[in-house]
């Protein structure tokens, strides 16, 4: 449910728009809470498998900080529903939404840092696959006899 991280800017816009329609905040807060629960589970698994261990700690910490920010955001949404005309609460809601958005970017950067080793393996595997494909192509042409031999040896002698 890392999609939550990508949906958060939409939540931010909806939350700030809902300042004028506080009755919409309950549904948004409920959806955000549900999505964060999925993210927390995925974050726990990502932190457990991250190498080095410091990256796992960073993922865990940043996901927790995001959770705290989401709690404050939901609390402010509830406060605005109680008193929909309070301009101070409206500003606080917008500030909480901005803080949550910043925390999302920190979670994303931690996840990307934990993914560097995986990405390096994917890149290496891709390079090896390319080399194997080139060798297969060369073998195919050599077997067909379309490559020029430098001497009288055949490909079967070297195969």
Per-residue pLDDT tens over the stretch 52-100: 888 889 989 999 998 999 899 889 888 988 988 888 988 888 888 888 8
> Would residue 149 count as lying in a domain?
no
Q: Is 146 helix (H, G, I), strand (E, B) or coil?
A: coil
Q: Give the number of C-alpha atoms closer than 13 A to the C-alpha of residue 133, restricted to the C-beta side.
A: 6
Q: How many domains does the chain have?
A: 1
In a domain? residue 146: no
Q: Is 5 helix (H, G, I), strand (E, B) or coil?
A: helix
Dihedral angle at the C-alpha atoms of 45, 49, 53, 59, nearest 10 degrees? -30
Kindly state whether residue 120 falls inside one of the protein's structural domains: no
Which CATH number goes with the domain that contains 56? 1.20.1420.10
Please report whether residue 122 resides in a domain.
no
Model confidence pLDDT, tens digit, residues 21-54: 778 778 878 888 888 888 888 888 888 888 788 8
Residue range of the domain that includes 79: 1-115
Confidence of residue 6 (pLDDT cuts 50, 70, 90): low
> Range with the lowest mean pLDDT among 96-105, 108-117, 123-132?
123-132
Considering the domain boundaries, does residue 26 fall inside one? Answer: yes
Query: Is residue 130 domain-resident?
Result: no
Taking the whole predicted model, whether its pTM rises above 0.85 is answered as: no
Task: Please check whether residue 47 lies inside any domain of the structure.
Answer: yes
Within a domain: 95: yes
């Amino acid at each position: 449910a890392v999609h939550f991280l990508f949906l958060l800017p939409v939540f931010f816009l909806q939350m700030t728009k809902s300042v004028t329609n506080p009755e919409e905040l309950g549904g948004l807060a409920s959806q955000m809470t549900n999505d964060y629960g999925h993210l927390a589970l995925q974050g726990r698994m990502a932190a457990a498998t991250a190498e080095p261990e410091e990256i796992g700690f960073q993922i865990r910490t940043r996901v927790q900080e995001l959770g705290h920010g989401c709690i404050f955001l939901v609390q402010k949404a509830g406060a605005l529903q109680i008193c929909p005309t309070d301009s101070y609460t409206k500003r606080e809601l917008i500030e909480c939404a901005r803080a949550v958005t910043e925390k999302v970017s920190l979670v994303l950067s931690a996840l990307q840092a934990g993914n560097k080793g995986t990405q390096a393996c994917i890149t290496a595997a891709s390079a090896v696959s390319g080399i194997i494909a080139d060798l297969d192509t060369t073998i195919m042409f050599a077997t067909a006899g379309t490559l020029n031999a430098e001497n009288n040896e055949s490909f079967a002698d070297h195969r």
